[in-house]
């Protein structure tokens, strides 16, 4: 696991070198930013060999595509490792986060992505007036439920409760002992055989701390999918931005590709909302999707919607469906946002009829296109389309087409999750 220290500690270089071991690099931060890394020689040789292997695999993929042995979708499946940073709580803050988690597990179970970990926000006590939000603790049991259901072992880390409102706060975060969330991000970037997609579906600060700890890793291997903000009016701030506005502004300065998907055109407290051309928002009629899901997935969602359980998360998953509880919420509509970015990581797109297709196939209902972005420290943003940029912005093929197609695509993905055999 990585160790983060200020570069000034090199005055006692013997102590620093004692912390370097195989699999334990030491990251050196200067002025609050990661600048250098010390590696054991065996780790260096392994990385050199991994780089050579990745280059040879790239040549092999290109040769296979040119000769018709493999297609583009197969290559995309092999290439992408993903991390999910999410405001996932139990009791929930918003049920869409549990739907997002199930979507990523379904894509991973199909072999479409390599799901390397979940970063759960821990911001529930951070209202400016000192009061608590209404929701509970990070929902690590939701990750455990889907791991059990899918036969997987996706790790989960809980983020920091430290506020990051500017450079001073960030320097303090970097000087503190590295949290598990930083280690999960950096180790994934170090060890992944290819590019890593980091999907931010909550607060931006945990990913920002990892970015500043090792910007060279992000530059070399990361792509950030940023699901936050509004693309038209900037007042009031969208929820994910409001959690950490300064951290949000800094992610647009990342040295890697940033795929920005605003959640809305404008924020209308109390709604109603509708699809718009540059926002990833769409609405799902739960009663049209839930009947297609396995009993275990229905229980997973029921568990999230029900009272806060201190125990019994596994027995609940394996038990009979509580049809009364299910009926109490499936009649409502579900707001969704982040699905398009997940599909891009999986090498998939969506056709106008809602069927899944290869991401490179013509006629897809969304894309990301280059924009110039100016994001102020308070989270308010100005943007314009341009020919080339490391920031790409979401665009759909038309609000009506997008809204009609996305629920069917989501149903197809979630219906692939298995059931648990019952005696």
- Give the residue-averaged pLDDT of 149-159: 97
| Least trusted range by pLDDT, from 39-48, 51-60, 286-295, 347-356 | 51-60
- Give the residue-averaged pLDDT of 246-271: 94
Q: Tell me: pLDDT of 363 over 90.
A: yes
Q: Is 224 left (phi over 0), alpha (psi -120 to 50) or beta?
A: beta
Q: What pLDDT is stored for residue 255 in this prediction?
A: 98
| Least trusted range by pLDDT, from 6-15, 56-65, 94-103, 171-180 | 56-65
Q: Tell me: pLDDT of 422 over 80.
A: no
Q: Tell me: pLDDT of 53 over 50.
A: no
Q: Tell me: pLDDT of 54 over 90.
A: no
Q: Is 229 left (phi over 0), alpha (psi -120 to 50) or beta?
A: left
Rounded to whole angstroms, how far apart are CA atoms 171 and 306? 40
Sheet order of strands, 222-227 included: 156-158, 114-120, 81-86, 196-201, 222-227, 257-261, 391-396, 366-375, 381-385
Confidence band of 63 (pLDDT split at 50, 70, 90)? low
The fold of the 1-60 domain, in CATH, is YefM-like fold (3.40.1620)
Class of domain 72-414 (CATH, top level): alpha beta
Structural tokens at position 98: 């549990």
Q: What pLDDT is stored for residue 150 in this prediction?
A: 97
Residue 421: helix, strand or coil by DSSP? coil
Residues 23 and 43 sit within 8 Å (Cβ to Cβ): yes
- Placement of tokens 């997002």 in the chain: 100
Q: What pLDDT is stored for residue 310 in this prediction?
A: 59
pTM of the complete model: 0.81
Confidence band of 128 (pLDDT split at 50, 70, 90)? low
Domain spans in the chain, listed from the N-terminal domain onward: 1-60, 72-414
Confidence band of 57 (pLDDT split at 50, 70, 90)? very low
Instruction: Specify the higher pLDDT residue, 46 or 106.
Output: 106
Structural tokens at position 131: 């009061």
Residues 27 and 3 sit within 8 Å (Cβ to Cβ): yes
Rounded to whole angstroms, how far apart are CA atoms 369 and 185? 26
Question: What phi, psi does 120 have (nearest 5°)?
Answer: -95, 125
How many C-beta neighbours within 10 Å does residue 333 have?
12
Instruction: Name the CA radius of gyration of the chain, rounded.
Output: 21
Residue 416: helix, strand or coil by DSSP? coil
| Least trusted range by pLDDT, from 66-75, 190-199, 390-399 | 66-75
- The DSSP result for 28-47, as a single string, is EEETTEEEEEE--HHHHHHH
* C-alpha triplet 200, 206, 210: angle, nearest 5°: 105
Rounded to whole angstroms, how far apart are CA atoms 263 and 231? 8
Confidence band of 25 (pLDDT split at 50, 70, 90)? confident
- Give the residue-averaged pLDDT of 239-252: 95
């Amino acid at each position: 696991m990585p160790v983060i220290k200020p570069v000034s500690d090199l005055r006692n270089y013997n102590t620093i070198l004692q912390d370097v071991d195989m699999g334990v690099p030491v990251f050196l931060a200067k002025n609050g930013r990661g600048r250098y890394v010390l590696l054991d020689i065996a780790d260096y040789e392994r990385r050199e060999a991994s780089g050579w292997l990745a280059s040879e695999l790239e040549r092999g993929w290109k040769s296979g595509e040119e000769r018709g042995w493999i297609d583009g979708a197969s290559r995309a499946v092999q290439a992408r490792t993903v991390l999910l940073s999410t405001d996932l709580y139990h009791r929930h803050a918003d049920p869409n986060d549990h739907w997002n988690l199930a979507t990523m597990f379904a894509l991973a179970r199909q072999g479409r992505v390599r799901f390397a970990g979940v970063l759960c926000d821990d911001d529930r006590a951070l209202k400016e007036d000192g009061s608590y939000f209404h929701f509970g603790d990070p929902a690590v049991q939701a990750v455990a439920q889907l791991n059990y259901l899918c036969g997987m072992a996706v790790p989960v880390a809980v983020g920091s409760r430290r506020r990051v409102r500017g450079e001073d706060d960030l320097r303090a975060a970097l000087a503190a002992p590295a949290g598990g969330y930083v280690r999960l991000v950096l180790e994934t970037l170090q060890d992944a055989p290819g590019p890593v997609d980091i999907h931010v579906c909550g607060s931006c600060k945990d990913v920002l701390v990892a970015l500043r700890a090792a910007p060279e890793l992000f530059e070399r291997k990361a792509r950030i999918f940023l699901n936050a903000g509004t693309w038209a009016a900037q007042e009031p701030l969208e929820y994910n931005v409001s959690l950490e506005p300064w951290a949000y502004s800094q992610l647009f300065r990342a040295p890697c590709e940033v795929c920005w998907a605003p959640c809305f055109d404008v924020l209308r407290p109390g709604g109603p909302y509708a699809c718009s051309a540059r926002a990833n928002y769409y609405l799902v009629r739960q009663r049209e999707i839930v009947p297609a899901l396995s009993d275990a997935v229905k229980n997973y969602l029921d568990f999230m919607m029900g009272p806060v359980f201190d125990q019994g998360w596994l027995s609940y998953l394996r038990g009979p469906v509580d049809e009364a509880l299910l009926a109490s919420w499936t009649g409502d509509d579900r707001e969704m946002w982040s699905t398009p970015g997940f599909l891009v990581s999986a090498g998939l797109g969506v056709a106008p009829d809602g069927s899944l297709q290869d991401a490179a196939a013509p006629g897809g209902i969304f894309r990301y296109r280059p924009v110039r972005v100016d994001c102020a420290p308070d989270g308010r943003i100005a943007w314009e389309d341009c020919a080339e940029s490391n920031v790409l912005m979401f665009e759909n093929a038309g609000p009506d087409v997008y809204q009609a197609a996305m629920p069917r695509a989501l149903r197809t993905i979630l219906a692939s999750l298995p059931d648990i055999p019952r005696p």
